Structure 1
Amino acid sequence: MKQFFIKTINTILILLISASFTYARKKQSRTTDPPNIVVIMADDLGFSDLGCYGGEIHTPNLDELAGNGLRFTQFYNCGRCWPTRTSILTGYYAQQVNVDGRRDRFPEWACMLPHHLRQAGYRNYHSGKWHILNMKTQVEEGGFDRSYNNNSGNNHFTAEAHSLDDIPLQPVKVEEGFNSTTNITDYAVDFLREHDQHYKNDPFFLYVAYLTPHFPLHAPQEEIDLYRDRYLGGWEKLRQQRYEKQKELGIDPGENSPFEYFVTAPWSWPDEWLKDSIPGEMRLARPWDQLSDEEKHLHATKMAIHAAMVDRIDREVGRIIDQLEAMGKEKNTLVLFLSDNGASAEQIIRGGGHDRNTPLGASGSYLCLGPGFSTACNTPFRRHKFWTHEGGIATPLIAYWPAGIKDQGGIRNSMGHVIDFLPTFLDMAGVEPLMEKNGNEAPPIPGISLVPIFKQDQPSEREIYFSHHGNYALRQGKWKVVISTDIDGRWQLYNMEEDRTELNNLADDFFRFGDDEWKRENMERLEKMKDRWETLDSLYQAQGKVGLK
């Protein structure tokens, strides 16, 4: 009881101190020619899926952006759809705005990214997925000037639940040629054209949130056929091939982590349920040479569909870049491309179910990538979407800005997180964040500006917090503590400079057995970092409730 009382008092003191501070960055005058900003996000894309991150999938447009911009190797999302999207559009951890953890209404003090950018004269556009759980409207509440919201997650050949500027649209039934990725791009390009026609002298922020390659795995047959036989060698072979290519490309985070065949999403269906609907399906991965021919065909085909979906994203990104060029805006536009979490190990069936008589990848099918090829997609890291090990939270990040990034083809190893987007954009626009709303003062923004990192790598001594459904982590410089719901219930400690792929748990009883002084030093570090995570978690959960009745 005494320990609980002390922690509670400490949390209250930190909360009071935080409330008394405003954003520390020195106030700047508005930039005379603020850059345009385009954020493009894939859904359930693996760290190694893009060609420029080691993948074999055809992604020439994104590879070209990377070749003329930057690739980040230690950039983080929040490990799941809605926390990541919330952090991008608010500049806060999802727990601070009541979207993850102890959920509640959107805080009285919080503003959205468009509200901040409007101070610098930006027009704001959104096309694609939303998934901010406590905010239902993109224009009225979210502050966007135009928004196309596609919430049709159960079929990529339809748009059953979608809206334009907060007004519901008629459902689009399955039609030949309709594809959610192209549909989202169509609206994004239309918004850009409208901007060029009516507001060409104003800067703009465009947020494009694709629904793919999230399940169900859907793609036109001719696009699947491009990758039909590519993956019959299996997931272990693909993982090793991607790892070797990563090293050739200068992305070398250390040793390739071994396959974890026992891991899948906790909510994945049991084997018997899956096999009843999808012949050859399985809840857990196994060594590829132990699979039957039926199982190999199914899983290689699923990976081919995933590849086709990524390939389509790349082509649609090319359309957006072409439109920027047509407007004469490409040079002074920052384009960021990333994923909301790692590739997914989920094995479930939703929506209208799976029709076993339908070709795999067609509208009547419902397939998930599954843990085998998800492990390959997240090369070289451990785990998947949902976890706070690196496979769940490490994202590729491409930054392209011809007028502002001179190190073309450069690699950045500095740590970053999606909470950094807001301070980065405000730094570029030359305005301060809105720190008060409805009579309630906002807490300090937890992120930092990436602008100095665009110039060169910076020391990474910062602190980054992670929390999602029982999976917790904290980075402090080179150190990381992490705990998962499915291992042994104990915190683990890793030196990320020496062991980015989290192979050597320094808190393991048998690691450097007999070196008592070394063990004591690292156990003290683990306990301090664990306590720090608990303090931050209590603080962030409390901040979201300020002003709520």
Structure 2
Amino acid sequence: MRFLALLFLGCSFALSTHAATPPNVVFIMADDLGYSDLGCYGGEIATPNLDGLAKEGLRFTQFYNTARCWPSRSALMSGFYAQQIHRDALPELGGGGQGVRQKWARLLPDFLKPAGYRSYHSGKWHIDGPVLAGGFDRSLDMKNQGNFFTSAGNSIDDVPVKVPADEKGYYATIATADHAIECLQDHAKNHSGKPFFHYIAFIAPHFPLHALPEDIAKYRDKYLAGWEAMREARYARQKEMGLTNTELSKLEEKVGPPYDFPEAIEKLGPGEVNRPLPWASLTDEQRRFQATKMAIHAAMVDRMDQEIGRVLAQLKSMDAYENTLICFASDNGASAEIMVRNGGHDPKAEPGSAATYLCLGPGFSSACNTPHRRHKTWVHEGGISTPFIVHWPAGISAKGELRHTPAHVIDFVPTVLDLAKIEKPKAWEGEAIPEAPGKSLVPAFIKDETITRDSLWWLHEGNRAIRIGDWKLVAAKDDAWSLYDLKTDRAEQHDLAKKMPDKVEELAAAWQEKTGAFTMLARQTQADQPVSKAKGKAQGKGKGKGKKKD
């Protein structure tokens, strides 16, 4: 009885704290980070700052994104599935990265502003429209995603930057943190009486694999044992941490990048490998090339964590750390893509430098997504699973605990509004706002309980899935449905579709019902979508496969 009483008091304390003082909110998003890349999720990369947040906060084991950059960001900031707001394709309507949200599809800052919040954005945007029009007060929009060593193409407060004659020392990850810190310093000086929301969206570790030489040096020879050894080591640590109870997925040697760019393979040279083949079967040149790419990826994650440490130090210096809800996630799983864009690739240049254009590829992407299957763009668990860290000393009494409830980026908006005691409006400028699908995660902040919902739904480039309870129905584009029991098989190794056709039919009908409802909603404003000059039709109906910027 004494234990139950103490538990009740602890829960009441957490609830009363957030009710009395609405928190500041910081959401940190990585780009193309694998589920197991952080130390606190089983990785060997040095991430002490994020590990520290996890140790003093919560780690969610079943948190999801949308499998791709722009849909995840739109869902995160709006609380709607991207297809509901024209930000990803639907079978009958098309759509995608060029789609424009309905007027009622507001972003989180618009709901926070009436409660006195100021909102800041630092880093990648990739949501439709100018940043400040989304309700933010200040922004660094890193539109340049092809070179980490120049600010060319970026905007500050939606105004293009003037590129200095000498940008020696510029690195995008550092610049993102610099801007975030400057915004926080200004807030402390001029707006200290107001709460703030800060969306910090690092481009790292998205391709091209660009990193500082001193960071690469820390990992140069670390991955020469290969992707199988890396997967096994990470998996063992995950099991020890209690992060997973599934078996380790098998490498799919016939599954390569989602888009085929044979000319890129030729440019990258004989060290490139576009399949997760057995490490022992590779040549010495291939093993060194692949291990070097993974070393650069690790260096990018390492540097991101270092810069996050600087942001945390700023929060502490302005006495805001205790009452700031800090969340961290990735927009999709690690990427199997291999391509050469922007300034091209100089094979003679130092790997990781501005003259190179390298991508992680399917071998080490599989390892980064341990223990799950597949990669970014697929809606198998490897494409949609992300680490999710939540830290809020003033509001969450639990420390170092795991949360097993399935959750999704659509849950962020309702969670913040719940904590800030803000009632979301039913309409915007006379237009009704439809009911959003996300759920507040506040109950899971208090204890490890499952958030009740009817389903979680996915669709991207023909890859589709639905999760109801522990049952997941999933299919790659043009493939038949597969059925998995995620309670024991998040590795998606044991297809139960043939054994349980009734369950397949039930989940398929639920997926189609959701898809139909989203289509009906989007169809209402389909005529307002921009017209592609190249195609003379609503933007996004053409596939343009492999050409999207993400």
Query: What's the TM-score once normalised by structure 2's chain length?
Result: 0.89
Aligned length in residues: 503
1:544 is displaced (CA, Å) by: 2.9
Match of 1:111 among 106, 111, 115: 106
SS at match of 1:398: strand
SS at match of 1:334: strand
Q: Residues 53-92 of structure 1: matches in 2 within 5 Å?
A: 53-92=41-80
SS at match of 1:314: helix
SS at match of 2:218: helix
Q: Is the 8 A contact 1:268 1:283 kept in 2?
A: no
Whole-angstrom CA distance in 1 between matches of 2:280 and 2:48: 33
1:254 is displaced (CA, Å) by: 1.1
* Structure 2 runs not aligned, ≥5 long: 1-15, 529-550
SS at match of 1:396: strand
Deviations 1:515-539 (A, max 9, x none): xxxx3xx211111211111111121
- Relative to structure 1, is the Cα distance of residues 375 and 173 closer, same or farther in structure 2, using a 3 angstrom cutoff? farther
Whole-angstrom CA distance in 2 between matches of 1:173 and 1:396: 39
Match of 1:336 among 303, 327, 341: 327
Q: Is the 8 A contact 1:108 1:546 kept in 2?
A: no
Deviations 1:118-158 (A, max 9, x none): 122110000010111xx22000x211011110111111111
2:191 equivalent in structure 1: 199
1:188 is displaced (CA, Å) by: 0.5
1:461 is displaced (CA, Å) by: 4.9
Give the aligned residue type for 2:486. Answer: M
SS at match of 2:415: helix
- Relative to structure 1, is the Cα distance of residues 526 and 173 closer, same or farther in structure 2, using a 3 angstrom cutoff? farther
- Relative to structure 1, is the Cα distance of residues 173 and 152 closer, same or farther in structure 2, using a 3 angstrom cutoff? farther
1:241 equivalent in structure 2: 233
Q: Residues 230-269 of structure 1: matches in 2 within 5 Å?
A: 230-269=222-261
Deviations 1:49-107 (A, max 9, x none): 00000000011111010000001100000100000000011110000110101324321
Deviations 1:343-396 (A, max 9, x none): 000011100110111011111000000000000000000000000000000000
SS at match of 2:259: coil
Match of 1:532 among 510, 513, 518: 510
Task: Name the % identity.
Answer: 49
- Relative to structure 1, is the Cα distance of residues 174 and 361 closer, same or farther in structure 2, using a 3 angstrom cutoff? farther
2:298 maps to 1:307: yes
Whole-angstrom CA distance in 2 between matches of 1:107 and 1:239: 43
Q: Is the 8 A contact 1:130 1:209 kept in 2?
A: yes
2:385 maps to 1:394: yes
SS at match of 2:386: strand
1:199 is displaced (CA, Å) by: 0.7
2:350 maps to 1:355: no
1:435 is displaced (CA, Å) by: 2.5
Match of 2:428 among 408, 431, 437: 437
2:38 equivalent in structure 1: 50
1:491 equivalent in structure 2: 481
SS at match of 1:125: strand
1:108 is displaced (CA, Å) by: 2.5
2:456 equivalent in structure 1: 464
Any runs of at least 4 consecutive aligned residues in structure 1 with deviations exceeding 6 A, and if so which?
A: none
Q: Is the 8 A contact 2:258 2:336 kept in 1?
A: no
Give the aligned residue type for 2:124. Answer: K
SS at match of 2:404: strand
Q: Is the 8 A contact 2:345 2:356 kept in 1?
A: yes
- Relative to structure 1, is the Cα distance of residues 451 and 41 closer, same or farther in structure 2, using a 3 angstrom cutoff? same
SS at match of 1:127: strand
2:492 equivalent in structure 1: 502
* Structure 1 runs not aligned, ≥5 long: 1-27, 509-518
Give the aligned residue type for 1:98. Answer: H
Deviations 1:261-302 (A, max 9, x none): 2112331322x6413433311222210000101001100000
- Relative to structure 1, is the Cα distance of residues 264 and 197 closer, same or farther in structure 2, using a 3 angstrom cutoff? same
Q: Is the 8 A contact 2:264 2:339 kept in 1?
A: no
2:206 equivalent in structure 1: 214
2:540 equivalent in structure 1: none
Deviations 1:133-192 (A, max 9, x none): xx22000x2110111101111111112211111111123577332110000110001000
Whole-angstrom CA distance in 1 between matches of 2:197 and 2:216: 33
Whole-angstrom CA distance in 2 between matches of 1:461 and 1:453: 11
2:160 equivalent in structure 1: 168
Query: What's the TM-score once normalised by structure 1's chain length?
Result: 0.89
1:137 equivalent in structure 2: 130
- Relative to structure 1, is the Cα distance of residues 168 and 275 closer, same or farther in structure 2, using a 3 angstrom cutoff? same
2:179 maps to 1:183: no
Give the aligned residue type for 1:292. Answer: T
1:33 is displaced (CA, Å) by: 1.9
Match of 1:121 among 113, 116, 130: 116
Give the aligned residue type for 2:501. Answer: M
Q: Is the 8 A contact 1:158 1:173 kept in 2?
A: no
